[in-house]
């Protein structure tokens, strides 16, 4: 119904910054929220942040609170994840998804293919 495409990943040093983008296409984004999740090798996919599409309300996981900021441009059907003060433990594949805004992967229907983020000296 809607295609999600992440971009902006790459290799950065600890303490560096990166901004991820998530472009929704196919139709106007109409889900309740856009969420960001990440998955490191050997670990489950975990919630990072979500934003209510209409309200703009945001929620971030404790592990990234104060360092990451989620936002969206509704006119462009695009969400963003600004990542500052990056740590090696932030290394993962980052996914965006359209869904309810909950912290559960099961409440999101449309997923992107992911973009790699590597934080290393």
49-57 average pLDDT score:
96
Cβ atoms of 56 and 37 closer than 8 Å? no
Instruction: Answer whether residue 1 shows pLDDT above 90.
Output: no
> Which residues have C-beta within 8 Å of that of residue 77, sequence separation ≥ 6?
23, 24, 25, 28, 29
Under the banding of pLDDT at 50, 70 and 90, the label for residue 116 is: very high
Q: For residue 30, what pLDDT is reported?
A: 78
Integer Cα distance of 79 and 116 in angstroms: 17
Under the banding of pLDDT at 50, 70 and 90, the label for residue 29 is: confident
Which comes out higher in pLDDT, residue 29 or 75? 75
- CB-based burial, 12-21: b 16+ in 10 Å, e otherwise: beeeeebebb
Q: What pLDDT digit, counting tens, does each position of 69-95 carry? A: 999 999 999 999 999 999 999 999 999
Cβ atoms of 50 and 102 closer than 8 Å? yes
Under the banding of pLDDT at 50, 70 and 90, the label for residue 4 is: very high
């Amino acid at each position: 119904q809607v295609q999600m495409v992440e971009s902006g990943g790459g290799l950065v040093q600890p303490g560096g910054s990166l901004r991820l983008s998530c472009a929704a296409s196919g139709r106007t984004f109409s889900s309740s929220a856009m969420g960001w999740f990440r998955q490191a090798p050997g670990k489950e996919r975990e919630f990072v942040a979500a934003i209510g599409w209409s309200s703009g309300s945001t929620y971030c996981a404790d592990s990234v609170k104060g360092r990451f900021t989620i936002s969206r441009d509704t006119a462009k059907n695009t969400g963003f994840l600004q990542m500052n003060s990056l740590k090696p433990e932030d290394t993962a594949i980052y996914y965006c998804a359209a869904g309810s805004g909950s912290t559960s992967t099961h409440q999101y229907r449309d997923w992107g293919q992911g973009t790699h983020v590597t934080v290393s000296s």
